[in-house]
Chain A
């Protein structure tokens, strides 16, 4: 044990959880795979930990052409679900590229979307971090910034978002159901992850007491034959992305009718590559279009001292992802 002490309570039902979660300095506990680390290193010091892991929010179902993931569905269950494997293979790939089997057996999809950044300056209280201590400065900007963002950074933070699943979801039309004591609301993924404020203190638009209850992925099965989640990392497994690309195409009459591209490891949020998508529409799924999409992806990148290599890497990864889905499956 290493963190500070807290009150633990097990929610009896969703309303009880929301009531308890709405109290001062409370946090929800689902899989605990990130919370445990944050608590151990003193980055999370909740007074109240509300255990929601057993609440009936773990269903995985299809509603027409919408995939509905209960927020407490385990990553391993989602990736093994026949409907997900058949209709949303890219989501399976993103999950299977995440963490280790042991972690995936514990981690919930809701928690995965809300995991904090892996920026080492954030994770160590001895180092300067605006996200952790607004106003403290950003040690990474002029320090060890190999893992830092190329896009979307606020002035005071160059951290990246760590979730693989969020990148895959960003490529699709994803809607997040959020509950609190006030009621229920639905956010798009873009609304869940707004561009950060100056210090990037929060990683999402959720307020204290908010709980993700479900994730809906709409009309994505049409991309199933041509989609991929490509993850580049420093070792073969159990490692966060240096760069990742989620790519999905729909081809009609030999031309790209729809394209969805998002990237991870390069921005404080899962980064939709709309310019690259536009560069593909109406063109044949061949090298020239892919190269154009790759060039578009790196447009406007703002590298730091040690992450410039991520610019050609991102370009190449976009091209490779598109080459891989070209022929379809």
Chain B
């Protein structure tokens, strides 16, 4: 029925009605190849400057880290902000690869240009692992003062939380590097064939002799599937572990079955937001307008909106149960974690994570604009950060000697960040961003093979008197 009129780069499909965005044009394979490979060199000097700035900030973070270890070791309350930033970074960057994995399963074509960036975010697992070390070492043992405390490890060995945290982080690093590598092999081959200097040599090594044979593509798909699944389960487990061992079980009486899920949901929300900001920046600073269309923003924007509402749902699901329960521990949850020392942080979190993005992203107009979606994403990230501060700083501020209480009766006061905390947090964020930027120097920020595949399966065509797109759905 549809005649195949293929628009190459430069030809503009006409938008036939106001409010409908233009059908994106297809990009010639060789143009796509050279332009995407060029992004690994693009803005060399600016990137170098930024890399220096971020590197110095990370270094300052690590130094303050050392200072803090020296003077505040063993004082649990002092490590709340470190816990918060770790939880935030894992929530935001760790959630991003799911943006690549889930739509892939649903065979959504729009996700292809976005997948690489989303996966690269998982490299942050390296930063998280470093920043986690003092937290793991400061975590109370399972047996405190001769009696077992509440934990998800029940009768497990004394150091279960510590060991499992190490195991989980190792798995996270393996699965994130594995996912990026498995997914990136054809692109390493591209770098081997079209890159220069050390990047070419690195590509040559990492491509492991990729020539693009049918067998290689098939095994690659299998590897991605396996790594994606591993990543997903690690992701779920780490949320379970972080939210319980590093928050819930530090507060006596906090028993909240939905909390790990709440943690994971807001993490996916933040992961979507990070992805939006990443591709927004890629469009703006790397000139990738041709490859990143409204389609991507519109699709992620919709998901972001859905997860914003889900945050509200998961929150109220817990809240209403506690509010109705009125038992001592129920009341404690509300008085300590909401109305308590971090009340204003909580209000800020609710406004930024839920209320404002809800009324912002609800508009089609906003989700149909690059900047509008990116602003929504920024709000959400700020909100998730505040939310993690409220939960983790509060949890870490509870002194260890009260861990056996049935529920907390006297609440510790507000803990404010000191200079070291701020530097550690800034350093962690800087190190994370730096890692992702450095990774885009080795692998193109948009996966070349995915963009080619996108173009292969996507055809703007004439359909009788109108223009539509044909999207192939291979097996």
Q: Tell whether A pairs with B.
A: no
